[in-house]
Every structure is written in structure tokens, then in C-alpha cells.
Amino acid sequence: MENLREKYLSYRMDYTVAVDEVDFSERLKPSAVLQYFQDLATLHADVLGIGFQKMLKANLIWVLTRMTVNYNRYPKIGEKITVTTFPEKPHVADAIRDYYITDENGKTIISGSSKWVVIDFNNHMIRRCSNLFDFEDSKYIPYAPFENANRTLSDKDCDYECIMSDKVHICELDRNVHMNNARYGDIMLNSFSIDWLKKHSIQKFDINFLSELKYGDCYKVYKSTEKGLTTSLRAEKDDKIAFRAEIDWKAND
């Protein structure tokens, strides 16, 4: 990992896993993982000259559209971890950013990949993003942390039932006045019973962010009928899909 950080564009931060970042079984919550990744991406964008304030002056903002997270194991409360992010070479209309959470020995315990687009703040039209980067191709990490990252999810073969409804609260908003991306991880976890979570752990999850949720928006969450160890989720606002998610579980020993 040290060699990769020196060779490619990267940014890293050290953390200690806190009590409020884990669930009742002391497993790192999906929202905590998403928050780590979001914080790092935000800071690195500033370093690269494409951060929030600079983009906003040009009426542009970054929008996260997809995320995949893969668990090798869960870090423990009080464990020291390092989170590192690497951008891949950007495409014309989207950019990929990868993440690694490593332990004190440099071993990867959680990895992730995300897809971002740039939109016009005023009309929400997608803009080119490749022209925002001014680095040699050799500075971008040339591979993803795992296969099938940032998949397009479909629910056409799913049999759903509505399991809960809620609305967007003030404490869930980001600086774009939309629901913070990390909060979708809480929606995912809240979609399952304590009994299920006692017996199963997340092995991998995918999220497609499809439509923004704003303050006061009411939404409903639908869950697929359990089929093995893969579960699909969908959130809707006024019959418009806000996000889709797919979670792969493993049975606890």
C-alpha cells in the first residue's frame, strides 16, 4: 500500500474505530464506512483543485451515483485503521474513486469503489468531468479493488414488500441540502430485524443513488422477499425511485 500511495494520486487518513460507529453487535455500520469514504473524497478533491467551493464558483457540484463496498472483516472498537483513496482515470462523463481500509499491518479489511458525475447546480444537467483533471495517465491507479464494482442494479425480478416509511430530517442533510449519502447506510441497516442481524453479517453491498431526497421528503422503503443470502432494497418518493441497494450476507459462525 505504501508503494501505491507513492506511485499514484492518493489521500489517506488514520482513524480509531469509535463506539458510535458500530452497531449493537459491535460491527462497523455501513453508514460509518460511507462516511469515511465521503470525508476522504471531499478532502482529496480539495487537494486536487476540484473541491466543493471551487466547483460551486463555476455552478458545478460532484454527485455520487453508485457505490460498492466489500468486507473482508469488521474492525473492532478502538482498532486503529487507515483509509486511503485513489482516483482512476476519469471518463468523459463520470469518474471512479476507489477506497481501502487497512489495519496497522497494512492488510485490507474493507474496500470500496464509487462512481461520480458532475452536474450543473442550476439545471442539474450532467457536465463533462474529464477536463477537470490535469494529471498524467500514469498517476491514476489502473485497476479497481475488486470485480463488478459500481454495478447497475435492477429490481425487475424482485418481489417487494413495503417495510417502513419515513421522512428526511434536518440532521440527515448535507451542504447541498439533500440527504447525506452516508445516511442511506442507516436506512439499509434499519430495514432488517435484530434477529436477522444477530445471525448474519454484511459481506458486500451495492447502492445506486437515483434521485435526491430533500428536507421533509417522505419516502417508503421496500425489501425483497428473502431468497438465500442476497437482499434487494428500494426507496421511493412519490413513486420515483430514490435509491436501489443489494446486500450480500454471510451467516455468522
CA distances, 141 to each of 3, 28, 31 (Å): 12, 27, 26
For 105, the 3-state DSSP assignment is coil
pLDDT in tens, 208-246: 999 999 999 999 999 997 677 999 999 999 989 999 999
Q: 150 lies in a domain?
A: no
Q: Rounded CA gap, 49 and 45, in Å?
A: 6
For 89, the 3-state DSSP assignment is coil
Say if residues 25 and 195 touch (Cβ distance below 8 Å).
no
Q: Rounded CA gap, 12 and 82, in Å?
A: 7
Same domain as 121, residue 205 = no
pLDDT in tens, 181-200: 999 999 999 999 999 999 99
Say if residues 85 and 97 touch (Cβ distance below 8 Å).
yes
Same domain as 6, residue 105 = yes
Q: The pTM is what?
A: 0.94
Same domain as 127, residue 7 = yes
Identify the pLDDT of residue 226. Answer: 65
Same domain as 125, residue 34 = yes
Same domain as 128, residue 171 = no
Say if residues 116 and 95 touch (Cβ distance below 8 Å).
yes
| 124: nearest Cα among 165, 180, 176 | 176
Say if residues 202 and 196 touch (Cβ distance below 8 Å).
no
Q: 155 lies in a domain?
A: no
Q: Domain tally for the chain?
A: 2
Q: Rounded CA gap, 48 and 157, in Å?
A: 42
Same domain as 122, residue 6 = yes
Given a cut of 70, whether residue 5 has pLDDT beyond it is yes
CATH number, domain with residue 35: 3.10.129.10
Same domain as 46, residue 104 = yes
Identify the pLDDT of residue 127. Answer: 93
Identify the pLDDT of residue 157. Answer: 72
Residue range(s) defining the domain that contains residue 78? 2-139
